[in-house]
Structure 1
Amino acid sequence: MTSRRTVVRRAPGKLFVAGEYAVVEPGTPSILVAVDREVTVTVSGACGSGTVVSSDLGPRTRAPHVQAALKTVAGLLAERGLPAPALNITVSSRLHENGRKFGLGSSGAVTVAAVEAVAAFCGMTLSHDHLFRLALLATARLDAKGSGGDLAASTWGGWITYRAPDRAFVLDLARRRGVEEALRTPWPGLEIRRLPPPAGLALEVGWTGRPASTPSLVSGLHRRTWRGSASHQKFVAASTDFVRAATGALETGDGTGLLRQIRRARQELARLDEEVGLGIFTAELTALCDVAESVGGAAKPSGAGGGDCGIALLDAEASPDIAHVRERWTAAGVRPLPIRPAMEKENLHDRPTQG
Structure 2
Amino acid sequence: MTKHTLKIPGKLYIAGEYAVVYPGHSAILTTVDRYITITIKDNDKNSINIPLDQHAITWPVNGQFVMPRPTWRFVAEAINTTTTYLKERGVTLTPVSMNVNSQLASVQGAKFGLGSSAAVTVAVVSALLTHFKQAPSKTLIFKLAAIAHYHIQGNGSCGDIAACTYGGWLSYTSFDQPWLIEQLNTTSISDLAQQPWPLLHIEALTLPTLPFCVGWTGSPAGTRGLVSSIQEYLAGSTQRLTAFLTESDACVTQFTKALETDDNHGLNEAISANRDLLKTLGEAAGVPIETPLLTKLCEIALATGGVAKSSGSGGGDCGIAFMPTTAACEALHTHWQHAGIKPLLFKEGHVSVITSLSI
Alignment TM-score, normalising by the size of structure 2 = 0.89
Does residue 1:277 correspond to 2:286, yes or no? yes
Instruction: Provide the secondary structure at the position in 2 that maps to 1:100.
Output: coil
Give 1:338's aligned residue: 345
One of 265, 268, 284 as aligned partner of 2:277: 268
CA contact (8 A) 2:15 2:252 kept: yes
Partner of 1:306: 315
RMSD (Å), alpha carbons: 1.9
Q: Is the 8 A contact 1:144 1:168 kept in 2?
A: no
- Tell me how far apart the structure 1 counterparts of residues 22 and 236 of structure 2 sit (CA, whole Å): 11
Q: Which range moves more in the overlay, 301-310 or 179-188?
A: 179-188
Distance in 1 (alpha carbons) for counterparts of 2:260 and 2:344:
27
Shift of 1:294: 1.4
Conserved in 2, the CA contact under 8 Å of 1:12 and 1:109? Answer: yes
Range moving further from structure 2, 34-43 or 56-65: 56-65
Partner residue, 1:36:
33
| Aligned-residue offset at 1:156 | 1.2
Q: Which residue of 1 aligns with 2:254?
A: 245
User: 1:118 is aligned with what amino acid?
Assistant: L
- CA separation of 1:216 and 1:58: change in aligned 2, threshold 3 A: farther
SS in 1 for 2:301: helix
Q: Conserved in 1, the CA contact under 8 Å of 2:234 and 2:240?
A: no
C-alpha distance in structure 1 between counterparts of 2:349 and 2:93, whole Å:
32
2:137 matched to which residue of 1?
A: 127
1:36 positional shift: 0.7
Q: Within 1, Cα distance between the matches of 2:141 and 2:236? A: 31
How far residue 279 of structure 1 moved from its aligned partner, in angstroms, is 1.1
Contact preservation (8 Å) 2:37, 2:100: yes
Q: Structure 2: how far apart are the matches of 1:146 and 1:85? A: 33
Q: Which amino acid aligns with 1:105?
A: G
Alignment of 1:4-15 (within 5 A): 4-15=1-12
Residue pair 1:32, 1:161 contacting (<8 A) in 2 also: yes
Instruction: Report the Cα distance in structure 2 between the residues aligned to 1:190 and 1:25, rounded to whole angstroms.
Output: 11
- Write the distance in 1 (CA, Å) between the matches of 2:174 and 2:266: 25
Kept after mapping to 2: 8 A contact 1:55/1:61: no
Q: Which moved more, 1:220-229 or 1:170-179?
A: 220-229
Secondary structure class of the residue paired with 1:43: strand
Is 1:229–2:245 an aligned residue pair?
no
CA contact (8 A) 1:141 1:171 kept: no
- Name the residue aligned to 1:218: 227
1:53 aligns with 2:48: yes
Question: 1:315 is paired with a residue of what secondary structure?
Answer: coil
The one-letter code sitting in structure 2 at the alignment partner of 1:17 is: I
Deviations 1:224-281 (A, max 9, x none): 4645532222111110111111111111110111001100010001111111112111
| Equivalent position amino acid for 2:258 in 1 | A
Aligned to 1:350: none
Cα 1:227–1:89 shift into 2, 3 Å: farther
Does 1:326 pair with 2:333?
A: yes
Do the aligned residues in 1 keep the contact of 2:2 with 2:41 (CA within 8 Å)?
A: yes
The AA in structure 1 aligned to 2:9 is P
Q: In the TM superposition, what whole-angstrom CA distance separates every residue of 1:44-90 from its partner, at most 9, and x where no partner exists?
A: 33434xx4332123365752111111111112112122344433322
Question: How far apart are the structure 1 equivalents of 2:294 and 2:176?
Answer: 31
**Structure 2 residue ranges without an equivalent (≥5):** 55-68, 355-359
Deviation, 1:18, is 0.1
Q: Is 233-242 or 218-227 further displaced after alignment?
A: 218-227
Task: Give the superposition deviation at 1:325.
Answer: 1.4
Residues 234 and 241 in structure 2, CA contact (< 8 A), matched pair in contact too? no
**Secondary structure of the corresponding residue to residue 56 of structure 1:** coil
Q: How far does the alpha carbon of each residue in 1:158-215 deviate from its partner, in whole angstroms, 9 at most, with x for none?
A: 100000112231233244221222122211110000001112x111000001111212
SS at 2:211 equivalent: strand
| Contact 1:12–1:38 (Cα < 8 Å) also in 2 | yes
Deviation at 1:223, TM superposition (A): 4.0
1:327 partner letter: T
Q: Does 1:113 find its partner at 2:123? A: yes
Counterpart of 1:169 in structure 2 is 179
Distance 1:344 1:118 in 2: 19
Question: Distance in 2 between the 1:137 and 1:228 partners?
Answer: 30
Bigger mean CA offset, 228-237 vs 204-213: 228-237
Tell me the residue number matched to 1:287. 296
Q: Percent identity?
A: 37
Structure 2 equivalent of residue 18 of structure 1: 15
* Residues 1:188 and 2:205 aligned together: no
Higher mean alpha-carbon deviation, 241-250 vs 229-238, is at: 229-238
For residues 112 and 15 of structure 1, what CA distance do their matches in structure 2 show?
16
Query: 1:150 Cα deviation (Å)?
Result: 0.8
Distance 1:230 1:8 in 2: 49
Which of 155, 162, 185 is the equivalent residue of 1:145? 155
Query: What amino acid is aligned across from residue 171 of structure 1 in structure 2?
Result: I
User: How many residues align structurally?
Assistant: 339
Asked whether the equivalents of residues 13 and 104 of structure 1 are also in contact (C-alpha less than 8 Å), the reply is yes
Q: Secondary structure at the match of 2:123?
A: helix
